[in-house]
């Protein structure tokens, strides 16, 4: 048998699995795989570049958010426009001698409605560093807890300490309603995590130079710091603001409308829009609100929304579990009534989409433990009866081979 040598790497037929020949040219399977990988990476890079060219307009941004976040169409539109305007401002901070100010964003909505996911998805779209901070962990300077500068430290770390890249990132501050100034009703003592923290956040929200520790959450004389300019950092704040929308007037309005033939969705839509004065009454100081001009409200997710959250997004929980089971050679399926049951369980807990993973983890744990030890299982179907404990899980076995 004639032996050939690869014209690319010089290996002969004995050193590789296969050599492909065409007239006087020869190439081995290893070089084919290498070329295929290089071509694939090149195509991905080109597709990414072409995709990001169209991301500057709000409609494209919303389309991308639709792949990750269920419902909340109005909030997604507001965020898309805000992001579009923000990154235009970075390119042209001054136009025709007019300085364009930064528009930070406030998301108001119940737990599990998608506030954090929206912020995280925006950062993914723009391919910029992203950091999450919990406002309840922040304290006024000089007290035990985290300084506001620690938020910038996290963003810097997420950018692999590339200062220029970090200064164009996105920060999401959760539970912002928990730092509302309620010291007037307090019996005694200073409002360590209330107005003091709001005052501390003012400078970084507006945009300015801040000395940020490279490691750790607190500055000290021995800590290495870097001068961080927050001018182009987009801040998105989120909070439930319980009781802010459901005031007496709104309750009366909703009660009246519920006596007709409106659906629950229409009742939700009848709630008033949140204004700056409402936030001031809640306990946020005017200076703080003035630095967050974009305010949008998220609605609670319905049971139908929760079912969609389970199955439709690109990184849906059900898709993740199906991928895990696929690695064991098992096709995982959920019946429609099972998905409905899981959504109802999350709705009863009142935690929105955030509670879905915990519920599914509990359902799937016994199967994840037992199935890898079973032989010839090719399919597994989760039903409502199985979730309710009224039946065993439905397993599909490979047909037995005939001797």
Helix/strand/coil (H, E, C) string of 106-142? EEECCCCCCHHHHHHHHHHHHCCCEEEEEHHHECCCC
Least confident residue range of 40-44, 70-74, 148-152, 205-209? 40-44
pLDDT averaged over every residue in the chain: 81
Ligand-binding site membership of 237 (annotated)? no
pLDDT: is 242 or 1 the higher one? 242
For residues 237 and 108, give the distance between their C-alpha atoms in angstroms, rounded to a whole number: 9
Q: Which residue, 103, 85, 81, is CA-closest to 205?
A: 103
Predicted local confidence at residue 149, as pLDDT: 83
Please check whether the domain covering 54-182+193-215+224-252+271-297 is classified as CATH 3.40.109.10.
Answer: no
Answer whether residue 269 shows pLDDT above 80.
no
Ligand-binding site membership of 6 (annotated)? yes
Question: What is the DSSP code string of 145-183?
Answer: SB-THHHHHHHHHHTTT-HHHHTT-EEEEE-GGGGS--G
Which fold is adopted by the domain 303-397? Helicase, Ruva Protein; domain 3 (1.10.8)
Residues 339-366, mean pLDDT to the nearest whole number? 91
Predicted local confidence at residue 390, as pLDDT: 93
Residues 13-27, mean pLDDT to the nearest whole number? 87
pLDDT: is 229 or 24 the higher one? 229
Residue 374's pLDDT band, with cuts at 50, 70 and 90, is confident
Predicted local confidence at residue 342, as pLDDT: 95
Question: What is the DSSP code string of 263-311?
Answer: -HHHHHHTSPPP-HHHHHHHT--HHHHHT--EEEEPPPPPHHHHHHHHH
Least confident residue range of 168-177, 245-254, 309-318, 370-379? 245-254
Predicted local confidence at residue 341, as pLDDT: 95
pLDDT: is 23 or 172 the higher one? 172
The predicted-structure confidence for 111-141, as pLDDT tens digits, reads as follows 888 888 888 888 888 888 999 988 888 865 5
For residues 313 and 70, give the distance between their C-alpha atoms in angstroms, rounded to a whole number: 7
Least confident residue range of 23-37, 138-152, 306-320? 138-152
Residues 64-88, mean pLDDT to the nearest whole number? 87
Q: What is the pTM of this model?
A: 0.69
Contact 317, 357 (CB under 8 A): yes
DSSP character for 4?
A: -
Predicted local confidence at residue 334, as pLDDT: 95
Ligand-binding site membership of 35 (annotated)? no
Residue 272's pLDDT band, with cuts at 50, 70 and 90, is low
Ligand-binding site membership of 28 (annotated)? yes
In the chain, domain spans = 1-53, 54-182+193-215+224-252+271-297, 303-397
Q: What angle do CA 3, 7, 13 make, to 5 degrees?
A: 25
Answer whether residue 381 shows pLDDT above 90.
yes
Predicted local confidence at residue 106, as pLDDT: 92
């Amino acid at each position: 048998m004639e032996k050939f040598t690869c014209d690319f790497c010089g290996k002969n037929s004995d050193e590789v699995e296969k050599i492909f020949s065409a007239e006087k040219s020869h190439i081995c399977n290893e070089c084919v795989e290498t070329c295929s990988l290089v071509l694939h990476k090149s195509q991905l890079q080109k597709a990414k570049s072409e995709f990001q060219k169209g991301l500057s307009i709000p409609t494209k941004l919303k389309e991308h958010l639709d792949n990750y976040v269920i419902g909340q169409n109005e909030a997604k539109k507001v965020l898309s426009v805000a992001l579009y305007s923000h990154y235009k401002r970075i390119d042209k901070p001054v136009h025709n001698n007019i300085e364009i100010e930064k528009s930070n964003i406030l998301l108001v909505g119940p737990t599990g409605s998608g506030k954090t996911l929206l912020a995280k998805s925006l950062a993914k779209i723009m391919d910029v560093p992203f950091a999450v901070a919990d406002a309840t962990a922040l304290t006024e300077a000089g007290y035990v807890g985290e300084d506001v500068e620690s938020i910038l430290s996290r963003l810097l770390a997420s950018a692999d300490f590339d200062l220029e890249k970090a200064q164009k990132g996105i920060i999401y501050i959760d539970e912002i309603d928990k730092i509302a100034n309620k010291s007037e009703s307090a019996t005694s003592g200073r409002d360590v995590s209330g107005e003091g923290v709001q005052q501390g956040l003012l400078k970084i929200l507006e945009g300015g130079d801040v000395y940020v520790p490279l490691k750790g959450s607190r500055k000290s004389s021995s800590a290495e710091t870097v001068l961080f300019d927050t001018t182009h950092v987009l801040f998105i704040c989120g909070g439930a603001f319980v009781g802010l929308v459901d005031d007496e007037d709104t309750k009366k309005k909703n009660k009246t409308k519920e006596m007709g033939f409106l659906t629950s969705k229409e009742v939700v839509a009848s709630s008033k829009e949140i204004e700056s004065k409402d936030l001031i009454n809640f306990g946020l100081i005017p200076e703080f609100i003035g630095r967050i001009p974009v305010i949008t409200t998220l609605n609670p997710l319905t049971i139908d929304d929760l079912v969609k959250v389970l199955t439709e997004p690109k990184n849906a929980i059900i898709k993740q579990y199906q991928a895990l089971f696929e690695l064991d050679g098992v096709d995982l399926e959920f019946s429609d009534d099972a998905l409905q049951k899981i959504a109802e369980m999350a709705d009863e807990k009142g935690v929105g989409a955030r509670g879905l993973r915990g519920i599914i983890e509990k359902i799937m744990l016994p199967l994840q433990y037992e199935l890898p030890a079973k032989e010839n299982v090719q399919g597994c179907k989760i039903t409502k009866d199985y979730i309710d404990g009224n039946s065993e899980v439905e397993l599909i076995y490979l047909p037995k081979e005939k001797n």
